[in-house]
Amino acid sequence: MDTTRSSGHEKPSSSREEAPLVEPKKTAEPGRRGGYGGRWCHVLLATFLLSFTLLYLLSRVGWSPSQAWPQAQGDGAVADKDNKGYEDASSSPIGTRKDKLLGGLLSPNFDEQSCVSRYQSALYHKASPLLPSSYLAVRLRKYEALHKKCGPNTPLYKKSVEHLKSNHKVENLECNYIVWTPYNGLGNRMLTIASAFLYALLTNRVLLIQVTDEAVDLFCEPFPGTSWVLPLDFPIKDMGSNHRNSPVTYGNMIKNKRINLSVNSSAELVPSYVYIYLVDDYKHFDGLFFCEDEQLFLNKVNWLVLQSDIYLIPSFFLWTTYKDELQQLFPAKDTVFHHLGRYLFHPTNSVWALITRYYESYLAQAEERIGLQIRTFNWPHISFEEFYKQIISCSLQEFLLPNITNDEQFYLSRSSNVGRPKAVLVVSLYGRYYEQIKSMYYDHPTTTGEIISVFQPTHAEQQHTEKRGHNQKALAEIYLLSFVDVLVTSPFSTFGYVSQGLGGLTPWILLPSWHEKAADPPCRRALSMEPCFLNPFYFNCRAKKDIDPGSLVRYIRHCEDKVQAVKLID
């Protein structure tokens, strides 16, 4: 395998080919710099010797690019919205070109020690393949100002809460809110928080999140000088229960004609709050949220409470009202979650300690890190043996991992200078996959002579979303996966979607297997790093009939792992 590449796994050229030790001599072009040849030679020699000495000294003091603090760039280089901010990721070594404010994405107005991950993640993540647009940076700063003005315990927040308590109908309040409530696992939650945040940004609302016991001490505050945590004395009390059949969901209000959109939404008909129920089993009336006309009504409601477990963002890209705004915010449409995720989700110091301790202990020294995110669901069912077979055939076919051989002689006679090992990070609820992959590389040498080390941080064997420690470890593993160079993910898994988005990684997705057999082909390269919107609304409100949402615009396509679902591509 060509070990000079840090990512991207095309077919390897001969693994034992070596670059020539001495470059072939080049003769100076006649008539051009020839007269200065001697002096140039001296200058070059002196420069070479100086660089060599410097490099040697730096290596003696233990400097490595990944430990280097980012170059101070103030607010960071912000991408020009027309050139999409493409950066030549290969042009400089990791670390030396890192900007702790992520190209203007992060505000500099935080105390660094209260949340070390906020400015340190840049040292571990690959630099973003695409910088955020300058417009996104401006809008984030504007949002932060709004949040500070309307956030918990401000006079304007108190006024809106009083309005909610008194159940007055519509009133032109200065601050409008979207309250996010937790539903399902951590991956689902992170996708819906990002969705709620972008919705807030587009509709000038303030995002508040309900932090339940099991989620305390997971994330730092993302907005400076204020809080996004919904105060405990918030007057709506039953937010934890499933609202599928609740009379206060928007869908049920329409269904039961408690609100009537055709009446031009007079003040009497606009409630002070509604639930938006968009859990994966949402019904037709709930799905009307995705209709642009309904948004005109929802804009008048002071408090929206979101209960959802799906990534909603691709649907916003079908609204004509926000088309230009979204284009300016995200000139590259496949970077929405990537930027929002890096902006919003900063692990607390206790989780960051888990992450960095594990990384430094097991992954930092590797030449390349390969992440295998292995998640199985009850349906479609697949046995351990079949899924294992699929994971290995994907990894070998796509040249992500080297094959094994019985040729111990080749291994024993190889040069001792085989380079640093490659680390495989297995992330799964179960320990069996790790055990088997580890044994594979322990029992056999690789055909390439590479050394493969296999690690797994935890294997809880069961999902325990209700436990704080379990969620902290889940977040740590999502983050560790986002640091790898090459990622393989499982189908339908929001856990995997979040890792790929945070890492800016386009993964190989294991394809769903039907009839309990390993899928063939076993995997494919994703179309983009964006998460999949697993349950899109097929009803087209304008046409008043079902239309495939993956057929409407060039930048919304069917997902690799679920053909009925859609995702953003660029």
Long-range own/partner contacts, residues 355-360 (CB < 8 A, 24 or more apart): 355/117, 355/124, 355/476, 355/479, 355/480, 356/120, 356/124, 358/457, 358/476, 358/480, 359/124, 359/480, 359/483
495 makes contact with ligand GDP (CB under 6 A):
yes
> Using CB under 6 A, which residues numbered 366 to 425 contact ligand GDP?
375
Q: Minimum distance from CB of 494 to ligand GDP (Å)? A: 3
Q: In this structure, what token pair is assigned to residue 500?
A: 């790929």
Min. distance of Cβ 401 from ligand GDP in angstroms? 19
CA diameter of the chain: 91
Nearer to ligand GDP, 161 or 427 (CB): 427
CA 502, 504, 505, 509: dihedral to nearest 10 degrees? 60
Q: Is residue 493 within the footprint of ligand GDP (CB under 6 A)?
A: yes
In this complex, which beta carbon is closest to ligand GDP, that of residue 389 or of residue 470? 470
Closest distance of CB 183 from ligand GDP, Å: 9
Question: Least distance from C-beta 279 to ligand GDP, angstroms?
Answer: 12
Task: Pick between residue 1 and residue 523 the one whose CB is nearest to ligand GDP.
Answer: 523
Please count the residues of this chain forming the interface with ligand GDP, following the rule CB under 6 A: 21
Please select the residue that binds ligand GDP; options are 181, 188, 249, 308, rule is CB under 6 A.
188
Please state, in angstroms and rounded to a whole number, the distance separating the CA atoms of residues 457 and 373. 12
Helix/strand/coil (H, E, C) string of 502-525?
A: HHCCCCEEECCCCCCCCCCCCEEE
Q: Indicate the residue whose CB is closest to ligand GDP.
A: 185
Nearest to ligand GDP of 68, 460 (CB atom): 460
Determine, following the binding rule CB under 6 A, whether residue 184 of this chain makes contact with ligand GDP: yes
Parallel/antiparallel/unpaired status of strands 422-428 and 176-181: unpaired
The torsion angles phi and psi of 320, rounded to 5 degrees, stand at -65, -30
Q: CB 102 → ligand GDP: shortest distance, Å?
A: 24
Q: Minimum distance between the CB of residue 377 and ligand GDP, rounded to whole angstroms? A: 7
The token pair that represents 203 in the structure block? 């509709």
Smallest CA-to-CA distance from 284 within 297, 270, 294, 274 is with 294
184 vs 453, which CB is nearer to ligand GDP? 184
Handedness of CA 546, 548, 554, 556 (dihedral sign): positive
What is the rounded distance in angstroms from the CA atom of residue 558 to the CA atom of residue 533? 9
Part of the chain binding ligand GDP (CB under 6 A), chosen from 184-192, 264-272, 358-366, 381-389: 184-192
> Chain-centre distance of CA 218, in angstroms?
16
Binder of ligand GDP out of 185, 224, 380, 431 (CB under 6 A): 185
Among 186, 218, 366, 424, the residue binding ligand GDP under the rule CB under 6 A is 186
Scan residues 425-484 and list those touching ligand GDP (CB under 6 A).
427-429, 458, 460, 463, 465, 470-471, 473-474, 477
Distance CA 380, CA 370 (A): 26
CA distance 432 to 212: 32
C-beta of 373: minimal distance to ligand GDP in Å?
7
Using CB under 6 A as the criterion, which residues of the chain lie in contact with ligand GDP when the complex forms? 184-188, 375, 427-429, 458, 460, 463, 465, 470-471, 473-474, 477, 493-495
